[in-house]
Chain A
Amino acid sequence: DSGVTQTPKHLITATGQRVTLRCSPRSGDLSVYWYQQSLDQGLQFLIQYYNGEERAKGNILERFSAQQFPDLHSELNLSSLELGDSALYFCASSVDHLDRSPAFGPGTRLTVT
């Protein structure tokens, strides 16, 4: 157990809908990362937050957004969902924004039908 928690574990929704994925980092970690893992794209970095502020962006679609709250938990919002958004979404956390091997949570499996 990495100490990173994610909810929900599974999510099934329809195209065009909007969902919110939630992540709580390990105790003491200030930085949160979001990754998408699909069958054809592998693990792709989406976005990073550090102490409430966006730090870096990767291959994140404009339909997706995220934020990190004062209590350091983070949410990833996915809107106008498409079939291709079906994937595992992982949150990871690290002590600071310079840690290059963050700890991963168990993931949320999103299925868009």
Chain B
Amino acid sequence: GESVGLHLPTLSVQEGDNSIINCAYSNSASDYFIWYKQESGKGPQFIIDIRSNMDKRQGQRVTVLLNKTVKHLSLQIAATQPGDSAVYFCAENTGGFKTIFGAGTRLFVKA
């Protein structure tokens, strides 16, 4: 499949372990944050979002943590599976149309 980026930070985890993907965002005025997953040859897929009035939000096997003090966002994936292998992007939004995407992190899951 097509490669999204050849020089992305890479995280390699064992199947069944928990994964933590980190992201630093740039704009302190951003009030909405999203994590997307992009598999090879596909478009970004929404995973979970969080608004700035929250510091934690949980979904199915995923948790997003927001630390506004240091402008840091993390995505935790519980019991990582081979199907979780992909590039993960954080994105920030200050309202309206313009969503700014981070560079992405490539997650490899070893069986």
Shortest beta-carbon distance, A89 to chain B, in Å?
Answer: 10
Chain B contact residues, majority secondary structure: loop
Contact A42 B96 (CB under 8 A): no
Given A43-B89, A104-B45, A106-B43, is A97 in contact with B6 using a C-beta cutoff of 8 Å? Answer: no
Given A33-B97, A45-B97, A55-B97, is A107 in contact with B5 using a C-beta cutoff of 8 Å? Answer: no
Docked pose: A39 CA to B8 CA in angstroms: 9
Q: How many residue pairs, one in A and one in B, have C-beta atoms under 8 Å apart?
A: 60
Q: Which of A69-109 contact B (CB under 8 A)?
A: 88, 90, 92, 97-98, 100-101, 103-107, 109
How big is the A interface, by class? 20 to 34
A37 neighbours in B (Cβ, 8 Å): 4
Spell out A's residues near B (CB within 8 Å).
2, 4, 33, 37, 39, 42-45, 48, 55-56, 58, 88, 90, 92, 97-98, 100-101, 103-107, 109
Spell out B's residues near A (CB within 8 Å).
2-7, 32, 34, 36, 41-46, 49, 89, 93, 95-104
